[in-house]
Amino acid sequence: MCPTTLLEGVGLRISNRSALILLVCVLGVSTSVAESAKSLYHKGQVAEAKQDYLEAYAAYKAAYDEKPTDLRYRSAFERLKFQAAAVHVKRGQQLRQSGDLQKALQEFETAAQIDPSSFIAQQEIARTQAQISGAAGGGNTTQQEPKREDILRQRIEQAQGPVSLAPINDLSINMHISGDSKTIYQTIGKLAGINILFDPDYVARQLPPLELNGVTLQEALGIVSIQSGTFWRPVTPNTIFVAPNTQTKRKDLDQSVVKTFYLTNAASQTEFQDIANTLRTILDITRVQPIAAENAIVVRGSPDKVALAEKIVADLDKSRAEVVIDVAILQVSKERIRNLGFTPSLANGPIGIQLIPPGQTTTTNPNATNGQSSSSRIPIATGSFQPGIGGVGINPLVNTQFQYLDVGVNIDVQPTVHLNGDVTLKVTMDISSQTNTVSIGGIDQPVISQRKIDHQIRLREGEVNLLGGIFEDQDQKSFTGIPGLGQIPVLKYIFGSEKIDHTKNEVVFVLIPHLVRDQDVTDLNLRPIDVGTDSAIDLRLAPNRPGRGGQGEAPTPQSQLQQSRPAVPASAAPANPAATTGVAQAPAPANPAPAPSPQETATPAAQPVLRFDPPSITTTNGGTFTVSVTMNGGMDVASVPLQITYDPKRLSVVKIDNGDFLTKDGQPVALVNRDDVNSGVLVASASRPPGSGGVSGQGTVFTVTLQAKQPGDTVLSITRPGARNSQQQPIQVLGSQMTVKVQ
């Protein structure tokens, strides 16, 4: 009877056979676990060989999780952490470049989870989170109070760049202005819409009358600064500070900025230091600090100097041009030997004529890149043999030193790539070989034969050049035979033998340069830049070009030419329907309608009016004529801006001058004008100096000279009249028009 086993709480009887099967199953499960970890490890090895680091890492990790006590699995798991994290970082960078920031952040976070010590993963997480926050536009409006250690960093993040003047309209204008330098500065400031501040040490100088034609307001500021011996620097985008142009004031008032330049192509410490020395010498910047460990240069100076330093660094920090040079060395060796005669000997001797014309041609093709050379080396013993001092127990001393020499084909090439693509090669070619050995002091010393060429040549890219080689021509003649009988003609060949050996060697070099990388020189690197004077560096910037309006836009940002215009009274409505609203014509035609009340007629009579004098004119084709723009009923007028329209097909503006209305008290008047010949728009502005008050009454404001171009009738209209009082408040002014008949 088979023994039985009673299981507690179950009451089942299991035979010994069943127990054995159960034991085998338990052992099989444990064996399968071991085989599973082993198979995972093998799977990881296969994936690692295929450079599939993510799959290899997953397999090693699974094997390590199965058997954490096995050091093989742990070492493989720890070793693959870096590669797996690097793969996720690379994927995240690619996703971020494509614009998928969320998925990129997930990849970076996965890399950080795999390898918590990965510093680049932490950097990319912070950078991507900052980009996500910036793209969200600051969606989280609740900002936590910054930590104390973050205050200085926030100050740096909030720090702004150098102040620059806001864009000023760059339309070309004509200016006729006189007075002291302070008044001229203030006048230009009013026209440009900027504030002018003066240094306490500034003393205004009386300047000669300035007549500037075709200049912008920014250029006018520069001209006045040169004329008055001053300089200005922006304080805010619409405020400048004017001071005397002295070295002390420059040092006290010039802005100072700091910038770090990281060099990417400086291959040696000498190149790195040369760039830093160039900045000191060319720009006269004393605060230049090179940081060799970071391959960076920190510069502090004025904005113009630092901007020029950035250009110079970009000009000099460029990758070197690379050249691959195909060098073919062609060697032709010819040898001819002639033995003629009878050589008696104790043994068998040669009788007859022997001609041996052996020869060979050898071609090699080494490549040289940027002065690379190929060579082989053999040892040559140098030093001395010292027998020492004889005696009991003393052995002679031997001191032998060896020196290695380059033999074979040694080529040293120093290429220089020019801007037009030519390549200058400084070539040193050395062909040497061991021809024999001699025994010196019991040591076999090699005998080296050498052929060397030093050459400098300029070639085009891909041009084949054949250099003159080394030529050898050697003749050897020897005679052996019986003395006396060997000197008899003809018979000497019976009693002796003659040997003639003619050897000829020729070596030719072929050079073919190929450009791998050319010089990266742009137009900005070659363009000359105006940097000011020797005493002060000031960049002359290109005119700013803000958005322009319609054809009738004023040349300045001030509001004189943009003010509102009153409606025209019915009695003053022009007969020409093309006349613009706000234009009054004088004299007014008779109106059969009932006359308006005195109150209605008093209002338009009190308004200032800009009129043409004469109201009509007749001229001939090609002739010139002058019309005056007069102010009637002006009260406290300090400036008069206006716009005159004409037909550019029939008329052209010759010039515009100031009248006597604004100069009644002898104050100078600044005249600014711009003529758009394509659209037929003349914009002009006459302004009294700031603080000089206004004038009242009537008089001529402008005198305009025009020329007739085509016969016919045309209209000259003041379409945008305007004026300002001494408080710079706008004054409502009516305009007018006149008729021009060209015969």
629 token code pair: 């723009």
Q: Give the pTM.
A: 0.55
CA dist 614 and 586 (Å) reads: 10
Q: Which residues contact 484 (CB under 8 A, 6 or more apart)?
A: none
Q: What is the model's pLDDT at position 704?
A: 92
Chain centre distance of CA 105: 31
Chain centre distance of CA 3: 94
CA dist 722 and 735 (Å) reads: 9
Q: Which residues contact 436 (CB under 8 A, 6 or more apart)?
A: 446, 447
Q: Which residues contact 49 (CB under 8 A, 6 or more apart)?
A: none
Q: What is the model's pLDDT at position 549?
A: 39
Q: What is the model's pLDDT at position 456?
A: 86
- Report the topology of domain 560-589+597-742: Immunoglobulin-like (2.60.40)
> Averaged in consecutive runs of 10 residues, what is the pLDDT profile of the chain (743 residues)?
42 50 51 67 89 90 89 88 90 91 92 89 90 67 54 76 80 78 86 88 86 84 89 90 90 88 84 88 88 89 90 87 80 74 52 42 42 44 46 54 73 84 83 76 76 82 76 74 71 74 78 81 82 79 53 38 35 35 39 41 63 90 91 90 91 89 85 86 87 88 91 90 88 90 89
Nearest to 266 by CA among 211, 328, 313: 313
Q: What is the model's pLDDT at position 105?
A: 92
Backbone angles phi, psi at 178, to 5 degrees: -150, 165
| CATH class, 257-319+522-526 region | alpha beta
Instruction: List the domain boundaries for the chain.
Output: 13-137, 173-245, 257-319+522-526, 324-336+357-467+500-513, 560-589+597-742
Confirm or reject CATH 3.55.50.30 for domain 173-245, answering yes or no.
yes
Q: What is the model's pLDDT at position 207?
A: 85
Q: What is the DSSP secondary structure assignment for residue 560, as one 8-state letter?
A: G
CA dist 658 and 639 (Å) reads: 12
CA dist 227 and 185 (Å) reads: 11
- Report the topology of domain 13-137: 1.25.40
Q: What is the model's pLDDT at position 259?
A: 92
Crossing angle of helices 217-228 and 181-192, rounded to 10°: 170
Q: What is the model's pLDDT at position 117?
A: 85
- Alpha helix positions (H), 674-729: none
Q: Which residues contact 6 (CB under 8 A, 6 or more apart)?
A: 13
Q: What is the model's pLDDT at position 372?
A: 41
Q: Are 322 and 282 in contact (CB under 8 A)?
A: no
Q: Are 595 and 569 in contact (CB under 8 A)?
A: no
Beta bridge partners of 22: none
Q: What is the model's pLDDT at position 587?
A: 40
Q: What is the model's pLDDT at position 512?
A: 86
